[in-house]
Amino acid sequence: MKKLNIVLLSTLLLLTSCAPSMQKDDQDEVVQKEEEPTGQPSIVPTYKLSEDDYRVVLPYRTSAARGATTRQIENRLDIDEVEQGLIRHSKEFFDPNKFYFEEGQYLEQSKVYEWIDELNPVVKEGSKKEEYEKNPRVLSHILEQNFIKRNEDNTVELVGVSIGLALKSQYRFQTEIGGPYYYEQIPKGEMLEKGREVAQVVLEKLRQIEGLQNVPIMFAIYREEAQGAAVPGNFVAKTYVQEGDMSIDEWEGVEEDYILFPSNEAEDKYFDDAQIVNTFGVEIAEFFPNYVGYIGEGFYVNEQLQKLTIEVPIEFNGKAEIIGFAQYTYGLVKDRFPNDYDIEIQISSSQRLEGYIYREAGKEDPVVHLFD
């Protein structure tokens, strides 16, 4: 009983240390300039999750093109990454300590669909397979995000826009309704060329919209993964257009990659990391007979691992087994994985997520959270 109490106390101490770090700022009331002509005050939240996060103005306003992303992008993982990744890249140009985030308010859903149709080739219904292959609809989606600042008179105004252009790596099409689907691979170079062309046209269209004539605009090109892929695609290029400019001069390459563990790609590209993750799985299997495998995802920037997420599905016979499993896995994280990247182990049963173990890059000790 004494040993069990020690185990439970240790777990409790770990649980209390896993709450997110909340950064406190003064709460302010601001008036939305132009956007809210009635002068209804908006609230800027007092806290944000970290220094790197944007604060938002409340009441929260959803995108004017709400729902378009899920209709245009087929892979759920791509939907999440194109939205979150665009925010991540926006931080280079729009400081989250100075500006607030808001979903896009200028491009309505109908306008997004209209532009996508205009910027993709048109193939007549009933055309032959070769015609579709020569004219793929590469552009999937145009995503808008806004960044605003507070003025001294407590109004807020738009100071920047980010535009994410999602393009396909694989074109899926039918030559007739009810017929078979065909799949055409889109080379990265061809996709990039199309993305740059689209960005220039979109820039010219945006400059014709009231309120966007002079704001700086960041464009980022996203390469989708194939439908049903186990990992998302990634951003491949970005550029920043100064306020009032009507043309894009240069693009900066983005070296990001999501890698599935275990996989041949992981073995080929990142052999050392693949071996560490594989050893982790072997050591768990040695002590827990209900373990059936793992699914891992590594996020790389410039070929350096930034975050590793591993889901471990296992059937448990009771809470004590979950605690024991978490303790053993905690030790593996601490002893087997380098601490120069974030790592998260998700422990799940067939019913739910049972808990997770997380260690931030640079920290020595992971934190544990087990759900009741």
Quick: pLDDT tens for 346-361. Answer: 999 888 898 999 999 9
Residue 21 neighbours by CB under 8 Å, 6+ apart = 49, 50
Quick: pLDDT tens for 237-246. Answer: 999 999 999 9
Cα–Cα distance for residue pair 249/269, rounded to 1 Å: 33
DSSP 127: -
* CB crowding 23-36: b at 16 or more within 10 Å, else e: eeeeebebbbbebb
Q: How sure is the predictor about 46, in pLDDT bands with cuts at 50, 70 and 90?
A: low
| Of 29 and 45, more confident | 45
Cα–Cα distance for residue pair 345/8, rounded to 1 Å: 20
Q: Residue 7 has what pLDDT?
A: 37
Q: Is residue 286 over pLDDT 80?
A: yes
Quick: pLDDT tens for 208-237. Answer: 999 999 999 999 999 999 988 999 999 999
Cα–Cα distance for residue pair 231/229, rounded to 1 Å: 6
Note the CATH number of domain 259-370: 3.30.300.190
Q: How sure is the predictor about 2, in pLDDT bands with cuts at 50, 70 and 90?
A: very low
Quick: pLDDT tens for 117-150. Answer: 999 999 988 889 999 999 999 999 999 999 999 8
Q: Residue 82 has what pLDDT?
A: 97
| C-alpha pair distances (Å), 342 with each of 88, 90, 301, 304 | 16, 21, 13, 12
Can you spell out the DSSP letters for 261-312? Answer: ESSHHHHHH-HHHHHHHHHHHHHHHHH-TTB---EEEEEEETTEEEEEEEEE
| Of 151 and 168, more confident | 168
Q: How sure is the predictor about 99, in pLDDT bands with cuts at 50, 70 and 90?
A: very high
| Of 38 and 249, more confident | 249
Q: Residue 9 has what pLDDT?
A: 35
**Intervals of CATH 3.30.300.190 along the chain:** 259-370
Residue 292 neighbours by CB under 8 Å, 6+ apart = 313, 314
Which one is the CATH code of 23-254: 3.40.50.620, 3.10.570.10, 3.90.1170.50, 3.90.1580.10?
3.10.570.10
Q: Residue 318 has what pLDDT?
A: 81
| Of 325 and 15, more confident | 325
**Intervals of CATH 3.10.570.10 along the chain:** 23-254
